[in-house]
């Protein structure tokens, strides 16, 4: 079957998923022709087809070989992959009640399907019996076989029948709970608006934020002239600039209480059940806790290793945050106010301190960071590192008018893949920023080039105006584009190893490493240009921006690290009782680490989608910090070479990190690039926390 083919048998004509090949530019999904009613029949037909393929593989009577078992598994399920990739990309980025209803129906069905494969005794027997000494296997084939065996064992393939049945039940229920968690969170985020009903409500807001609030109001139906929503790109600058302390408090309370508003969208009961089920599954698999289960297959290897890193960073970050708090409180008092600084005040007074110390105004920076300019900077960096070219395509299918599409090619013109950018917040999109794939790179089923998407939630500017990014927004764009490059540059044969399918505490290395180039004067001088005049950022402003890079890092590190510690603590609980009092557990965990009252966790449990809407980051939120140890050390390789675009260093980076997928163990991959394992010292210097 060639690239783009994924025939779904027994599906009625007229359903786009019945077509073995989509006759669209670059094989993009024909979004305009796919309707909600097409998904369930397509899922059912694809599931039946995959079940039949698995039955043939498991029921073979010949001695098992890599080709007829593992490679056959890798060729199976293409139709299901195609339906699921389109469907789940849309439920995250452009959903509606019809898609949400389908999601609630199909999630447990897919979970049961996956369990049936990994708990199939005949299939596991064939995989276990493959003898690499009897057939010549390449290095990649050895890796695929090892990963399949690990996956099957971790899914419960070695358990007895009763335990297998319970594992399957847990998987189906977890799929239901994760889906409901995410939908509840989107409902809370979409339903809240803070109307700003006059000049007094707009006090302190710079023009870019007033314009963004007007656009948000228009998008929400125009009942108010200006609104603040729970999109991070609106609420965070509102907390920075608004001089209305009462409105800051109201907005902040809504922001931190997403998922615990009471009523049908309250996530606290779901969390208790999720934690209990994860603990039960870990015990069935022979692990002390879910955290021990999760980290056994990571670069860290154990919860103790992850917690040691978190503690090593927490101590200096906590000291610095306390010092920052005292300086902010002093500003409050100097201004004649008599209140104690609270969490909804921190960003506002931190901005005042930054202006005083660095003469730096956030709105002044934004003028030099229009969205198009930051996109160009991200593309130019990839071109200088990896020889890539980006050509925008206009006459191609897209799932929303906001989506932009680029053809990505190598220096010789050969196609690398397609990159989709979906940058603006809207009510149909979940919050946050992420990378996903409509199609992943592989060579087993023909030459399959990837279709990668980055989804953001930036505030939209009024018609005819440039959308301006904060420096944090620009960093987010570079971060997600680093993930995109990990998918685009993948160079593997087997789908199982493609792109970002790596250890959970290694997957953030390509994204966080890419952020470093945004902070380089060489990049900013070229691309940070005024959105109206096109003039480059003045050297004085550039210098102030770079000098302030570690400003407020105590706060930033504490709010992140607290979330990671609570995540790990929650999943180290072996009991995982149904009666878990989520806010009480969270409060006690924070009390034990002396969390400053003026700082909240970056993600409180009821809206912690990373760890409860799915399982990728559960007992794994530490991975951002673990990967930051890697990325800070990795960028030093370019500094040591004397050129941030050094060709030899970039070639090693592409070979061992961006292009390698999961061809190697994470430690082996990093050592291949750097020649050694990393040190924590560059991370502490990067965050300004070194002694």
Nearest to 566 by CA among 543, 549, 585: 585
Q: Is the pLDDT of residue 361 over 90?
A: no
Whole-number Å distance between alpha carbons of 572 and 294:
10
- The pLDDT of residue 576: 56
As given in the structure block, the two tokens for residue 594 are: 């002396």
Starting at the edge strand that comes first in sequence, how are the strands of the sheet with 389-393 ordered? 389-393, 404-409, 415-424, 451-458, 434-439
pLDDT at 38: 98
Any bridge partners for residue 691, and if so which?
none
Is residue 16 over pLDDT 80? yes
Question: How many CB atoms lie under 10 A from the CB of residue 110?
Answer: 17
**Residue 161 bears catalytic tag:** no
Is it true that domain 16-118+120-158 has CATH number 1.20.1050.40?
yes
Helices 371-386 and 471-488 sit at what angle, rounded to 10 degrees?
40
Mean residue pLDDT of the chain comes to: 95
Exposure on the CB side of residue 339, measured as CA atoms within 13 A:
10
Phi-psi region of 446 (alpha: psi -120 to 50; beta: other; left: phi over 0): left
pTM score: 0.95
* Topology at the third CATH level for domain 371-492+502-540: 1.10.1370
Cα gap 452→449, rounded to integer Å: 10
Looking at 19, 351, 362, 480, which residue is catalytic? 480
As given in the structure block, the two tokens for residue 665 are: 């163990």
Question: What's the rounded Cα separation, in Å, for the pair 263 and 328?
Answer: 37
Question: How confident is the model at residue 690, as a pLDDT?
Answer: 83
pLDDT value at 158 more than 80:
yes
Q: Are strands 415-424 and 451-458 parallel, antiparallel or unpaired?
A: parallel
Please tell me the distance from the alpha carbon of residue 96 to that of residue 307, in angstroms, as a whole number. Answer: 40
Percent pLDDT > 70 in the chain is: 98
**Burial of 177 by CB count in 10 Å (0-12 exposed, 13-18 middle, 19+ buried)?**
buried
Classify the C-alpha dihedral 676-679-682-687 as positive or negative.
positive
Q: What is the full DSSP assignment across 590-655?
A: HHHTT--TT---SS-GGG-HHHHTSSTTTTTTTHHHHHHHHHHHHHHHHHHHT-TT-HHHHHHHII
> In which residue are the tokens 């783009």 written?
4
User: pLDDT band at residue 9, thresholds of 50, 70 and 90?
Assistant: low
Which stretches within 34-77 are classed as H helix?
Answer: 36-58, 72-75
Alpha-carbon gap, residue 44 to 102, rounded angstroms: 12
Residue 112: predicted pLDDT? 98
How confident is the model at residue 133, as a pLDDT?
Answer: 86
Name the token pair of 524: 């900013």
Q: Which two tokens stand for residue 305?
A: 């290793």
The model's pLDDT over 87-110, given as tens digits with 9 standing for 90+, comes to 999 999 999 999 999 999 999 999
Q: What is the mean pLDDT of residues 118-140?
A: 95
Cα 374–Cα 376–Cα 381 angle in degrees, nearest 5: 95
Note the pLDDT of residue 586.
Answer: 95
Neighbouring residues of 384: CB distance < 8 A, sequence distance ≥ 6: 645
pLDDT band at 2 (very low <50, low <70, confident <90, very high): very low
For residue 3, is pLDDT > 50? no
Read off the pLDDT of each residue in 295-314 and give the average, rounded to a whole number. 96
- Collapsing DSSP states into helix, strand and coil, what is residue 512? helix
Instruction: Name residues whose C-beta falls within 8 Å of residue 242's C-beta, 6 or more positions apart in sequence.
Output: 203, 204, 205, 248, 251, 348
d(CA 288, CA 293): 8
Q: Which residues contact 191 (CB under 8 A, 6 or more apart)?
A: none
* Contact in structure between 112 and 51 (CB atoms under 8 Å): no
What gap in Å lies between CA 174 and CA 172, rounded to an integer? 5
User: Can you tell me the distance from the alpha carbon of 243 to that of 248, in angstroms, rounded to the nearest whole number?
Assistant: 8
Give percent of the chain above pLDDT 90.
93
Q: What is the arithmetic mean of pLDDT over 112-120?
A: 98
Residues 627-651, mean pLDDT to the nearest whole number: 97
Residue 1 has pLDDT above 60, yes or no: no
Dihedral (CA of 22, 456, 93, 277) sign: positive
Distances (CA, A) of 82 to 28, 89, 420, 438, 456: 11, 11, 17, 8, 23
Specify the pLDDT at position 377.
98
Whole-angstrom Cα distance, residue 277 to residue 111? 14
Radius of gyration in angstroms for the set of CA atoms belonging to the chain, rounded to a whole number: 25
* Residue given tokens 């584009």 in the structure block: 481
7 confidence band (pLDDT: 50, 70, 90):
low
Q: pLDDT class for 4, splitting at 50, 70, 90?
A: very low
Per DSSP, what are the bridge partners of residue 406? 392, 419
Look at residue 575 in the predicted model and tell me its pLDDT: 61
Mapped onto helix, strand or coil, the DSSP state of residue 219 is: helix
- Looking at the chain, the domain(s) classified CATH 1.10.1370.40 span 371-492+502-540
Sign of the four-CA dihedral 601, 605, 610, 616: positive
Query: Which CATH number among 2.60.40.10, 1.10.1370.10, 3.90.950.10, 1.10.3720.10 corresponds to the domain 264-360+552-621?
Result: 1.10.1370.10
Q: How confident is the model at residue 150 (pLDDT cuts 50, 70, 90)?
A: very high
What was the pLDDT predicted at 109?
98
Tens digit of pLDDT for each residue in 405-459? 999 999 999 999 999 999 999 999 999 999 999 999 999 999 999 999 999 999 9
Average pLDDT over residues 357-384: 95
CB-neighbour burial class of residue 542 (10 A; exposed 0-12, middle 13-18, buried 19+):
middle
User: Which residues have CB under 8 Å from 431's CB, separation 6+?
Assistant: 185, 186, 189, 230, 231, 232, 425, 457, 609
pLDDT band at 267 (very low <50, low <70, confident <90, very high): very high
The torsion angles phi and psi of 610, rounded to 5 degrees, stand at: -50, -40
Q: Find, among 514, 603, 597, the residue nearest to 560 by Cα.
A: 603
Quick check: 284 pLDDT over 80?
A: yes
H helices of 489-622, in order, are 509-518, 521-527, 539-547, 553-572, 582-592, 609-612
The residue whose two tokens read 């990739």 is: 85
Q: Is the pLDDT of residue 317 over 80?
A: yes
Task: Show the tokens assigned to 650.
Answer: 């970039």
Residue with the two structure tokens 């989107």: 186
What does the block give as tokens for 356? Answer: 């005083």
- The pLDDT value recorded for residue 423 is 98
Q: What number is the average pLDDT over the span 570-593? A: 86
Q: 7 or 150: whose pLDDT is higher?
A: 150
- Supply 261's token pair: 């508003």
Alpha-carbon torsion 476, 477, 480, 481, what sign? negative
For the record, the structure tokens of 334 come out as 């100097």
Q: Is pLDDT of 116 > 60?
A: yes
Residues of the chain with CATH 1.10.1370.10: 264-360+552-621
Distance between CA atoms of 79 and 46, rounded to whole angstroms? 6
Cβ partners under 8 Å of residue 525, min gap 6: 536, 537, 542
Please say if the pLDDT value at position 677 is more than 90.
Answer: yes
Average pLDDT in the 349-364 region? Answer: 93
CA distance 628 to 602: 17
């Amino acid at each position: 079957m060639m690239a783009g083919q994924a025939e779904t048998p027994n599906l009625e004509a007229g359903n786009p998923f019945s077509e073995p090949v989509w006759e669209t530019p670059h094989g993009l999904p024909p979004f305009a022709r796919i309707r909600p009613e097409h998904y369930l029949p397509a899922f059912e037909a694809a599931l039946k087809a995959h079940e039949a393929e698995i039955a043939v593989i498991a029921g073979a009577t010949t001695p098992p070989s890599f080709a007829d078992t593992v490679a056959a598994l890798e060729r199976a399920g293409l139709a299901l992959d195609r339906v699921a990739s389109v469907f789940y990309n849309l439920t995250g980025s452009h959903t509606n009640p019809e898609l949400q209803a389908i999601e609630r129906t199909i999630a447990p069905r897919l979970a049961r399907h996956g369990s049936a494969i990994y708990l199939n005794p005949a299939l596991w027997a064939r995989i276990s019996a493959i003898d690499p000494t009897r057939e010549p296997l390449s290095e990649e084939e050895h890796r695929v076989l090892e990963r399949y065996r690990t996956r099957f064992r971790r899914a419960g393939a070695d358990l007895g029948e009763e335990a297998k049945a319970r594992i399957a039940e847990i998987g189906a229920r977890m799929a239901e709970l994760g889906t409901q968690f995410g939908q509840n969170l989107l409902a809370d985020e979409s339903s809240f608006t803070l109307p700003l009903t006059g000049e007094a409500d707009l006090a302190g807001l710079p023009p870019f934020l007033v314009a963004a609030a007007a656009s948000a109001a228009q998008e929400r139906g125009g009942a108010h002239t200006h609104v603040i929503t729970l999109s991070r790109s609106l609420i965070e600058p509102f907390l920075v600039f608004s001089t209305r302390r009462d409105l800051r408090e109201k907005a902040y309370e809504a922001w931190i209480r997403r998922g615990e508003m009471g009523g049908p969208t309250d996530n606290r009961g779901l969390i208790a059940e999720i934690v209990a089920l994860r603990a039960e599954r870990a015990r069935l698999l022979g692990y002390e806790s879910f955290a021990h289960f999760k980290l056994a297959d990571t670069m860290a290897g154990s919860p103790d290793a992850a917690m040691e890193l978190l503690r090593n960073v927490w101590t200096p970050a906590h000291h610095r945050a306390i010092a920052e708090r005292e300086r902010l409180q002093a500003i409050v008092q100097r201004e004649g106010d008599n209140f104690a600084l609270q969490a909804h005040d921190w960003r506002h007074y931190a901005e005042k301190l930054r202006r005083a110390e660095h003469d730096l105004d956030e709105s002044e920076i934004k003028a030099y960071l229009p969205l198009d300019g930051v996109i160009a900077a991200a593309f130019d960096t990839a071109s200088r590192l990896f020889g890539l070219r980006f050509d925008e395509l206009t006459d191609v299918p897209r799932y929303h008018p906001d989506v932009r599409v680029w053809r990505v090619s190598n220096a010789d013109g050969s196609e690398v893949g397609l990159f989709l950018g979906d940058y603006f917040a809207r009510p149909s999109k979940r919050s946050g920023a992420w990378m996903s794939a409509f199609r992943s790179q592989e060579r087993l089923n023909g030459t399959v080039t990837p279709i990668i998407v980055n989804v953001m939630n930036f505030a939209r500017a009024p018609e005819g105006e440039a959308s301006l990014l904060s420096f944090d927004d620009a960093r987010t764009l570079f971060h997600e584009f680093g993930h995109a490059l990990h998918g685009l540059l993948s160079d593997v044969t087997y789908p199982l190893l493609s792109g970002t399918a790596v250890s959970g505490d290694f997957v953030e290395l390509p994204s966080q490493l890419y952020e470093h180039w945004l902070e380089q004067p060489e990049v900013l001088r070229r691309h940070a240009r005024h959105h109206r005049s096109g003039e480059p950022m003045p050297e004085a402003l550039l210098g102030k921006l770079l000098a302030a890079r570690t400003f407020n890092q105590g706060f930033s590190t504490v709010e992140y690290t607290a979330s990671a510690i609570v995540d790990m603590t929650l999943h180290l609980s072996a009991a995982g009782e149904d009666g878990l009092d989520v806010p009480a557990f969270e409060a006690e965990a924070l009390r034990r680490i002396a969390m400053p009252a003026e700082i909240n966790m970056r993600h409180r449990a009821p809206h912690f989608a990373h760890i409860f809407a799915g399982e990728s980051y559960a007992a794994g939120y530490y991975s951002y910090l673990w990967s930051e140890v890697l990325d800070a050390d990795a960028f030093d390789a370019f500094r040591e070479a004397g050129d941030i675009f050094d060709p030899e260093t970039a070639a090693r980076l592409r070979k061992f990190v961006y292009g390698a997928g999961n061809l190697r163990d994470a430690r082996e991959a990093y050592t291949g690039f750097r020649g050694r394992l990393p040190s924590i010292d560059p991370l502490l210097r990067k965050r300004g926390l070194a002694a």
